[in-house]
Amino acid sequence: MHRINIKNIRHRKWLLSAFFVVSAIFAAKLVANKLVRLSAQEMKSLQAPNFVSKGIEVSSKSKKDYALTDFKGKWVVLEWFNNRCPFVEKHYGTGNMQSLQKKYTEKGVIWLTVASSEMGKQGHLDENTAKQVIADRKSQQTAILFDASGDIARSFGATATPHMFVIDPNGNIVYQGAIDDKPAFRKSTLEGARNFVAEALDISLGLDAQNRKKIEVHQHPVYGCDIKNTLHPTT
C-alpha cells in the first residue's frame, strides 16, 4: 500500500499556483507595454468615431439602441470592461469605478461601459449576464454596450480592460489610455494613484482642486487584460 506524501502534494499545488500568478502578471505586462499610438498634439484634434450598439441602460435595466452621436454636446466616458479581469476587479471590487461613475454621471457625463469579449470568450456579456453584472457590481454608469464583434474596440484602437477614453462635447477624444498611473492589479495600489480620467473631467468641468484650466495628460500607456477578441483592422 502506497503512502501519500502530503508535503509533496502541497509543494506541487504551491508551484502550480505560483505558475498561474506569474503567467497572469507576464500577460498583463505585455498589455501594459503597448503604448497608445498618437502624439499629444494629434490627440487634441482627434474626432471620436461614431458607433451604433445595443446596450443595457443601467437605471432601467432595459435594452436600448445607442449611438455616440446621440450624446453630442455632452461629455462621454468609454470604459472597456471584462468582469473577470483582475485589473477590472481592482477598480470594481473596491468600489472605485462605481464611485467615479456616480460622481460624473450626476454631473451630466455619459458613462458607457463597453464589453468587447467575443462570444465564448472570458468576459463576454449578453443581456442577462449584463443585468447580473449591474446587480452584483452595483454599477452606476449610464449603460453597458455589447460589442462582441469588436467593431467599437477596433474603431477606437482599444486593446485592454480597462481602457479609458474621455470625449468632449464636440466629439473630440481628449484623453485615452490607462485609468491611472499604477499598472498593477493589487487593490492596495489605488492609494495615491493619479487617476487620469478623473483629472481630465475635473479640469474640464471646473471641479479641479488645483484650479487647472487645461488637461495636462492626453494619453498614458494602457495596462490591463487584453480584450478577448480579434481586433485586427477589417479590410
170-209: per-residue pLDDT in tens? 999 999 999 999 999 999 999 999 999 999 999 999 999 9
| φ, ψ at 26 (rounded to 5°) | -60, -45
Q: Is the separation of the CB atoms in 91 and 182 below 8 Å?
A: no
- How far is Cα 132 from Cα 115, in angstroms, rounded to an integer? 14
Once rounded to an integer, what is the mean pLDDT over residues 166-171?
98
Torsion of CA 92, 95, 100, 105, to 10 degrees: 90
Q: Is the separation of the CB atoms in 222 and 177 below 8 Å?
A: yes
Once rounded to an integer, what is the mean pLDDT over residues 96-105?
98
pTM: 0.82
Once rounded to an integer, what is the mean pLDDT over residues 125-141?
97
- In this structure, what C-alpha cell is assigned to residue 219? 494619453
Which domains are present in the chain?
34-226 (3.40.30.10)
- How far is Cα 183 from Cα 112, in angstroms, rounded to an integer? 22
Question: How many CB atoms are located within 10 Å of the residue 127 CB?
Answer: 15
- How far is Cα 108 from Cα 207, in angstroms, rounded to an integer? 13
**53 strand-pairing partners:** 66
Once rounded to an integer, what is the mean pLDDT over residues 101-119?
98
